[in-house]
Structure 1
Amino acid sequence: MKTLFSALLALLLMAPLASAQEAGMTPDGMTGAQKTEIEKIVHDYLLKNPEVIREAIQALQAKEEQSKADAQTELVARNKDALFNDPASPVDGNPMGDVTVVEFFDYRCPYCKAVAAPLQKLIEEDKGVRLVMKEFPILGQDSILASQAALASVGQGKYWEFHQALMEHKGQFDMEVIKGIAAKVGLDPAKLEADMQGDKIKPAISANHALAKTLDIGATPTFIIGDQVVEGAVPLEQLKELIKKARGS
């Protein structure tokens, strides 16, 4: 908010100061009366046109958002290998697909749960999509436990089934709940629990957190489609449009 206020103040003062300079005055050489007059002009103008403040704030927010998007696009290009080719990140859809969609997600995130089914529908309908799953638990210990279990399920070849079941679960996660879900999808719960202590599980999650920090990602779900970073529960039709854009068609 300080940034917004400072920029707004600069914008508001720019026009009056320019007028003063045109009249042969400089900011340093203004008298108290001249400064008071300029302040009154700004004050009166804002009272008469308060929408200017909203417009200035909106313009600044749009500029900051575009600046962040441009920076993230560059960072995606620099970190392509970690994003698209990390062997620790499970892959669904077509492994040889022409468009890769990366999702950073958390099993306790309601918005992630909301997009889980549409994502599954997407990879069923579009055989050219390669979906890379980035376990990114940010909502507490339950989230971490679920992500560790999900990565451990890869060893039994049932990551996707388990992933969907974890997304469909309503409520908290603890080890007993996780083992119950695992049994329902055909996993060996005892083996799953043991595999969660494997030496590759925690480093994989830590690497995802480090990558998210590098890309300035702090929310779930966040998608990378092509070179674009998109936050939030993106509707299926918008996902399709972003994929179409990534294909260049």
Structure 2
Amino acid sequence: MEGPLSFSSAHEMLHNPMEGTTMKQRVKSFSLALLAGLPLMGLSLAGTSHAADEAVFTAKQRAAIVQIVREALKNDPSILSDAIRSIQQQASSQQEAHVKAAVRANWQALSTAPSYAVRGNPQGQVTVVEFLDPRCTYCRHMAPVVDQFLARHPDVRLVEKVIPVLGDASLLDAQAIYAAAFQGQYDAMRRRLMEETAKPGMEHLRDVAKSLKLDVARFEKDMKGQAVMGLLTANLGQAQSVGVQGTPTFLFGQAAVAPGALGMEQMEQFLEAARKG
């Protein structure tokens, strides 16, 4: 492991034209530390070891080093863009690791749903979870893609989690979907509401309920009941636990979290990752 940076070695490395890419990489690392506001400890540009009393710079030395970095950035501005890109990549990697850990920690709840909300093969070897909002344009776009995906992969168990994230109309539709489920019409209600473009509202929902031969009085009561609200609250809590920020979002087993509308090829790539574990 390389030792901490000294003022003299930093100056030498930043001004040595023979160092080429190595110098640029080390300046980028140094810039990362400065941009992050970190103390310059444990960071090496020169690759030499120094005594512990040189691990922390004086204010004068630090100011001089900052000036050296500024000069280097003037000569090669790409150093800064590389540093920023590195920070972004590191943050993205950390976020991905955090999300995957959350998925593992909450997988039992995430992969569980009432039988009517499980599609494909109920005994499938691979579980895919979909968070969807019935009013979401992208979720509607994905509906036929998901149907095709399940038809092509009979080993997939799809768990649907309806979450109302787009306002009052979404909440009403989500309540209607689960209320219809209590009369055996979950899938029919979900498909109707996600295919139609009629103005949302209770009047329309009553019409749909009648067309599906539901007991409308019971349907309206169930929409407001604790059972339906409990399902929606649980779904929203699970979505929050794994950092879902929009719909649709897919969990391909514990291997991948995929937000947004996906193409068939993308879904199959994520599925392959889930099969490999």
TM-score normalised by structure 1 residue count: 0.82
> Is residue 2:251 matched to residue 1:224?
yes
Shift in Å at residue 155 of structure 1? 1.8
Aligned amino acid, residue 264 of structure 2: L
Q: Using CA pairs below 8 Å that are at least 6 residues apart, which structure has the higher relative contact order? A: 1
Distance 1:7 1:217 in 2: 31
Alignment gaps of 5+ in structure 1:
none
Equivalent position of 2:135 in the other structure:
108
Distance 2:33 2:169 in 1: 41
- 8 Å contact from structure 2 (residues 127, 158) kept in 1: yes
Distance 1:148 1:59, change over 3 A: same
Shift in Å at residue 134 of structure 1? 0.6
Q: Secondary structure at the match of 2:175?
A: helix
Aligned amino acid, residue 29 of structure 1: T
> Is residue 2:81 matched to residue 1:54?
yes
Distance 1:127 1:168 in 2: 24
Distance 1:19 1:238 in 2: 41
TM-score normalised by structure 2 residue count: 0.75
Q: Secondary structure at the match of 1:156?
A: coil
CA RMSD of aligned residues (A): 3.1
Shift in Å at residue 185 of structure 1? 4.7
Distance 1:50 1:173, change over 3 A: farther
Q: Secondary structure at the match of 1:170?
A: coil
Query: Mean alpha-carbon deviation: is it higher for 126-135 or for 239-248?
Result: 239-248
Q: Secondary structure at the match of 1:82?
A: helix
Alignment gaps of 5+ in structure 2:
1-30
Measured against aligned partners, the alpha-carbon deviations of 1:126-165 in whole angstroms (never above 9, x if no partner) come to 2221111111111111111111110111122221122122
Distance 1:72 1:23, change over 3 A: closer
Aligned amino acid, residue 120 of structure 2: G
Equivalent position of 2:35 in the other structure:
9
Query: Mean alpha-carbon deviation: is it higher for 63-72 or for 231-240?
Result: 63-72
> Is residue 2:194 matched to residue 1:167?
yes
Measured against aligned partners, the alpha-carbon deviations of 1:36-69 in whole angstroms (never above 9, x if no partner) come to 5433322222223222222222222222222222
Distance 1:125 1:161, change over 3 A: farther
> Is residue 2:133 matched to residue 1:133?
no
Distance 1:124 1:187 in 2: 29
Aligned amino acid, residue 58 of structure 2: G
Shift in Å at residue 72 of structure 1? 2.2
Shift in Å at residue 187 of structure 1? 4.2
Distance 2:266 2:171 in 1: 29
Q: Secondary structure at the match of 1:217?
A: coil
Equivalent position of 1:123 in the other structure:
150
Aligned amino acid, residue 174 of structure 1: G
> Is residue 2:220 matched to residue 1:193?
yes
Distance 1:186 1:23 in 2: 81
- 8 Å contact from structure 1 (residues 73, 229) kept in 2: yes
> Is residue 2:86 matched to residue 1:79?
no
Distance 1:100 1:108 in 2: 24
% identity of equivalent residues: 34
Shift in Å at residue 224 of structure 1? 1.0
Distance 2:226 2:38 in 1: 58
Shift in Å at residue 201 of structure 1? 0.4
Equivalent position of 1:233 in the other structure:
261
Distance 2:68 2:199 in 1: 58
- 8 Å contact from structure 1 (residues 8, 53) kept in 2: no
Q: Secondary structure at the match of 1:47?
A: helix
Query: Mean alpha-carbon deviation: is it higher for 19-28 or for 120-129?
Result: 19-28
- 8 Å contact from structure 2 (residues 33, 40) kept in 1: no
Bigger Rg, structure 1 or 2: 2
